[in-house]
């Protein structure tokens, strides 16, 4: 093959530019066609017959989806190219590409020369030329798989893989990988060249911003296998920090939609541990051309209308997350219903046909016990309560005795029920005596320590009940106070236990909308999160069940959260990604049980990712010392690159403030991207104050509590007092491991007395 020089590189860039120009010309034609179709389709509706209207809707939909896709402004619409030998069996698929993975037997001549039989360009969407030859293959199509899967060990038909870097419509560079270096290959009689330094390293070396980028141009083979795994049942993915679990999960969502759009019109839910990680990853799916059918939600934002703004202390979170809460909530739901009786009038008095009929306190108590003998959710028991009250009033009023004829008696009874039910005195009483309970009201009722200790007998320890009651006091007497992340799973559980109170009917969703995914018909402007009225389509209406559920950072879900997520995927297929070594939950066995319950008996397919793309080996090596303490025997992933920059160590005296400010400033000058400052959760507020008024570059600095750092990454990270982070909870060492694995370039650890640093400032926990 020809050697690389600038002339060759420029010529190759120029060639790719010409190709890209042709693609854009074709895209413009398609946009013109789509606009024309849309126009026509809308006018078709004026015919007015039901058939014409249905056809119009279908056409508008098809044209609209198309237009939306074409209009999307992609950074690098076309990003890949593979040059391939002819296929073994000579068969071609629907996209015109050879289907065979292996080359034809005579593809390589005895003198190790070969001719390239086809060249495929890979992009974010498929584009066909006017004569239906593929100009660009969608990255998710089977024909694109060799772009990701081929390796020098098993190259299949791929001779050269090229990543094309472009911005808007301009090609900036090309990076080639040679999969069959032993060959001299010719394309249209001209020898194939190789240029560039490799796409993966270029991607990894880029400065980090506040949002995650897609990895579509450089997905690695072991990741591609997971992304394209069949959707059936449960796909479980484990892998250490930085192995691309989050990236893979998001690309998988886009892949599944491509594979079976109709099926996943039922919605894909991606559950993320924190709102910070949601906003960090929010841009990835739109950049892949997918968003309408995918709801990316923080675990504290899974219940509509509830926004968790508070973090519970670890010891409180442990109580709220435990599956023992199910039993307690069941008791509390019934207990709160009983409490309601105490606020209702002592007796029930109604006037029917001029006569006064009354039920006394003891009779009412008896009726209540009778109603509660059913195990049904208490809100659903209200009709039964109503019926038993009417029975008692009818009996007390002597109605039964007045009619011998059963038919007349039945009529009279019906009239009686109607009259009584129309009386304000009856309806007001019923509302007070058997109110429809909202979940928040039950949680608020649990804030009373004495009451809670009664309800939680033999379920929680005394100390746990006290912690729980004190935490719930924040909700106030009517439950309208601020909600914590862990309260959300309790509210969701209660919704099932209580039975949802009847709500005013919302406008029915358009069935076409649900079936075909008209939600995709948004414009780039609609999706601009900087617009004040922006709401992603999934935020507009709550969906309770999904066709596929993807759980990111699955190791962190508490048993109660697993129950909440499980309810949203009862009929779903699942992708569950996580790393046990990063778990901040203290009782992994209890969580594993809840996870098994949520996933049911569906068969599972397991994958492991083994390469760390985030951390340089210098950072990974330091973090692995904590891994050895947190999970002895666990094997860290292999870091794919090294920077030669060893982590720095600093020591602080009374307050870390000055050391943190100085170090952050220094790092800001050293990296182009972001700097994360990770502190123990208890120091979050302080850390914000330390980092105020930093001056130039301050917008690149993010102070974080250790639990908030989950899944995020920064060019440089400052970790303050490892010992404080480790001591904050029984899972503290694993939380520290998370903190130490956030940096893509540089890491500084700042220690105080508690860290027992040596002369070099290396804290006790990080020494070899």
Ligand X SMILES: Nc1ncnc2c1ncn2[C@@H]1O[C@H](COP(=O)(O)OP(=O)(O)OP(=O)(O)O)[C@@H](O)[C@H]1O
Residues that bind ligand X (CB under 6 A): 200, 203-204, 213, 215, 218-220, 223, 239, 241-247, 579, 582, 613-614, 711, 713, 741
Q: How far is the CB of 135 from ligand X (least distance, A)?
A: 25
Residue 345 assigned ligand-binding role: no
Q: How far is the CB of 249 from ligand X (least distance, A)?
A: 8
Which of helix, strand or coil describes residue 10?
A: helix
Burial 702-733 (b: 16+ CB within 10 A, else e): bbbbbbbbbbbbbbbbbbbbbbbbbebbebbb
Q: In terms of CB distance, is 38 or 554 closer to ligand X? A: 554
Q: In terms of CB distance, is 77 or 148 closer to ligand X? A: 148
Residue 243 assigned ligand-binding role: yes
Instruction: Identify the helix (H) or strand (E) that includes residue 578.
Output: strand 573-578
* 680 vs 709: CA distance, rounded Å: 11
For CA atoms 729, 733, 735, 740, the dihedral sign is positive
Q: Count the neighbouring beta carbons within 10 Å of the beta carbon of residue 10.
A: 11
Copy the structure tokens of residue 719. Answer: 């970790």
Q: In terms of CB distance, is 325 or 709 closer to ligand X? A: 709
Q: How far is the CB of 512 from ligand X (least distance, A)?
A: 36
* 437 vs 338: CA distance, rounded Å: 11
Q: In terms of CB distance, is 85 or 630 closer to ligand X? A: 630
Q: How far is the CB of 293 from ligand X (least distance, A)?
A: 21
8 Å CB contact between 558 and 486: yes
* 357 vs 348: CA distance, rounded Å: 8
* 244 vs 621: CA distance, rounded Å: 18
Q: How far is the CB of 297 from ligand X (least distance, A)?
A: 17
Q: How far is the CB of 95 from ligand X (least distance, A)?
A: 24
Q: How far is the CB of 517 from ligand X (least distance, A)?
A: 26
Tell me the sheet residues that pair with 120: 82
Residue 245 assigned ligand-binding role: yes
Q: Nearest-CA neighbor of 226 among 546, 547, 550?
A: 550
Instruction: Identify the helix (H) or strand (E) that includes residue 630.
Output: helix 617-630
* 278 vs 296: CA distance, rounded Å: 7
Q: In terms of CB distance, is 158 or 385 closer to ligand X? A: 158
Q: At what angle do helices 324-343 and 559-567 cross, to 10 degrees?
A: 80
Which of helix, strand or coil describes residue 647?
A: coil
Q: How far is the CB of 176 from ligand X (least distance, A)?
A: 16
Q: In terms of CB distance, is 369 or 642 closer to ligand X? A: 642
Residue 244 assigned ligand-binding role: yes
Q: Nearest-CA neighbor of 680 among 624, 727, 717, 716?
A: 727
**Alpha carbon distance, N-terminus to C-terminus of the chain:** 47
* 292 vs 282: CA distance, rounded Å: 12
Residue 32 assigned ligand-binding role: no
Q: Count the neighbouring beta carbons within 10 Å of the beta carbon of residue 2.
A: 12
Instruction: Identify the helix (H) or strand (E) that includes residue 243.
Output: none
Copy the structure tokens of residue 50. Answer: 């039901």
Q: Could you give the count of Cα atoms lying within 13 Å of 619 in the half-sphere of its Cβ?
A: 33
Q: How far is the CB of 197 from ligand X (least distance, A)?
A: 14
Q: In terms of CB distance, is 212 or 475 closer to ligand X? A: 212
* 627 vs 326: CA distance, rounded Å: 33
Tell me the sheet residues that pair with 127: 136
Q: How far is the CB of 552 from ligand X (least distance, A)?
A: 7
Residue 239 assigned ligand-binding role: yes
Q: How far is the CB of 533 from ligand X (least distance, A)?
A: 30
Q: In terms of CB distance, is 118 or 222 closer to ligand X? A: 222
Q: Nearest-CA neighbor of 44 among 27, 62, 31?
A: 62
Residue 695 assigned ligand-binding role: no
Extract the annotated binding site: 239-246
Extract the annotated binding site for ATP: 239-246
């Amino acid at each position: 093959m020809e050697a690389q020089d600038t002339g060759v590189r420029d010529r190759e860039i120029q060639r790719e530019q010409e190709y890209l120009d042709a693609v854009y010309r074709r895209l413009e034609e398609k946009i013109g066609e789509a606009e024309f179709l849309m126009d026509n389709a809308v006018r078709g509706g004026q015919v007015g017959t039901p058939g014409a209207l249905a056809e119009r809707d279908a056409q508008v939909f098809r044209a609209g989806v198309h237009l939306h896709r074409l209009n999307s402004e992609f950074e690098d619409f076309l990003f890949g190219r593979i040059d391939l030998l002819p296929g073994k069996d000579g068969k071609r698929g629907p996209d015109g590409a050879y289907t065979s993975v292996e080359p034809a037997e005579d593809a390589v001549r005895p003198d190790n020369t070969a001719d390239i039989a086809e060249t495929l360009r890979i992009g974010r969407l498929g584009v066909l030329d006017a004569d239906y030859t593929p100009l660009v293959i969608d990255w998710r199509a089977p024909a694109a798989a060799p772009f990701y899967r081929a390796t020098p060990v098993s190259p299949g038909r791929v001779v050269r893989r090229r990543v094309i870097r472009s911005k808007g419509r301009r090609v900036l560079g090309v990076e080639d990988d040679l999969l069959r270096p032993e060959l001299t290959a010719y394309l249209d009689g001209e020898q194939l060249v190789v240029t560039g330094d490799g796409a993966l390293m270029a991607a990894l070396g880029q400065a980090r911003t506040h949002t995650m980028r897609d990895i579509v141009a450089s997905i690695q083979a072991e990741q591609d296998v997971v992304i394209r795994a069949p959707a059936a049942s449960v796909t479980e993915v484990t892998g250490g920090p930085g192995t691309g679990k989050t990236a893979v999960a998001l690309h998988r969502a886009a892949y599944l939609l491509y594979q079976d759009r109709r099926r996943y019109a039922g919605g894909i839910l991606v559950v993320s541990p924190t709102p910070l990680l949601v906003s960090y990853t929010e841009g990835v799916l739109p950049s892949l051309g997918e968003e309408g059918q995918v709801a990316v939600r923080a675990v504290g934002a899974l219940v509509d209308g509830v926004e968790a703004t508070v973090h519970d202390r670890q010891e409180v979170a442990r109580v709220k997350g435990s599956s023992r809460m199910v039993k307690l909530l069941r008791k509390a739901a019934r207990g709160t219903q009983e409490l309601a009786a105490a606020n209702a009038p002592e007796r029930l008095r109604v006037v029917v046909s001029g006569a006064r009929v009354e039920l006394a306190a003891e009779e009412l108590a008896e009726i209540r016990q009778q109603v509660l003998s059913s195990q049904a959710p208490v809100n659903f028991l209200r009709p039964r309560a109503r019926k038993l009250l009417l029975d008692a009033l009818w009996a007390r009023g002597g109605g039964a005795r007045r009619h011998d004829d059963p038919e007349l008696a039945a009529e009279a009874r019906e009239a009686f029920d109607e009259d009584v039910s129309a009386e304000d005195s009856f309806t007001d009483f019923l509302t007070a005596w058997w109110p429809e309970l909202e979940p928040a009201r039950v949680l608020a009722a649990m804030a009373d320590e004495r009451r809670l200790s009664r309800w939680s007998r033999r379920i929680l320890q005394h100390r746990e009940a006290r912690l729980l009651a004190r935490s719930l006091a924040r909700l106030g007497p009517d439950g309208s106070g601020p909600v914590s992340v862990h309260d959300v799973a309790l509210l969701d559980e209660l919704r099932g236990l209580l039975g949802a109170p009847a709500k005013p009917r919302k406008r029915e969703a358009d069935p076409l909308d649900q079936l075909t995914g008209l939600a995709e018909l948004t414009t780039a402007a609609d999706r601009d999160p900087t617009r004040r009225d922006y709401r992603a389509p999934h935020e507009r209406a709550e969906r309770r069940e999904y066709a596929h559920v993807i759980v990111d950072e699955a190791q962190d879900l508490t048993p109660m959260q697993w129950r909440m997520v499980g309810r949203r995927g009862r009929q779903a297929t699942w992708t569950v990604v996580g790393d046990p070594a990063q778990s901040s939950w203290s009782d992994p066995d209890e969580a594993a049980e809840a996870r098994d319950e949520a996933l049911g008996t569906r068969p599972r397919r397991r994958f492991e990712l083994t390469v760390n793309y985030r951390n340089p080996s210098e950072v990974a090596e330091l973090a692995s010392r904590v891994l050895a303490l947190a999970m002895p025997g666990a094997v860290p992933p292999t870091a794919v690159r090294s920077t030669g920059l060893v982590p720095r160590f600093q020591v602080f005296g009374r307050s870390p403030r000055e050391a943190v400010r100085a170090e952050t400033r220094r790092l800001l000058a050293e990296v182009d991207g972001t700097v994360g400052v990770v502190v123990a959760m208890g120091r979050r507020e302080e850390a914000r104050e330390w980092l105020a008024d930093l001056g130039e570059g301050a917008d690149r600095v993010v102070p974080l509590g250790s639990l908030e750092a989950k899944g995020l990454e920064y060019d440089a990270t400052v970790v303050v007092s490892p010992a404080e982070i480790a001591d904050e909870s029984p899972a503290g060492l694993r939380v520290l491991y998370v903190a130490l694995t956030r940096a893509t370039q540089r890491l500084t650890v700042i220690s105080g007395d508690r860290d027992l640093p040596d002369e070099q400032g290396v804290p006790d926990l990080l020494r070899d």
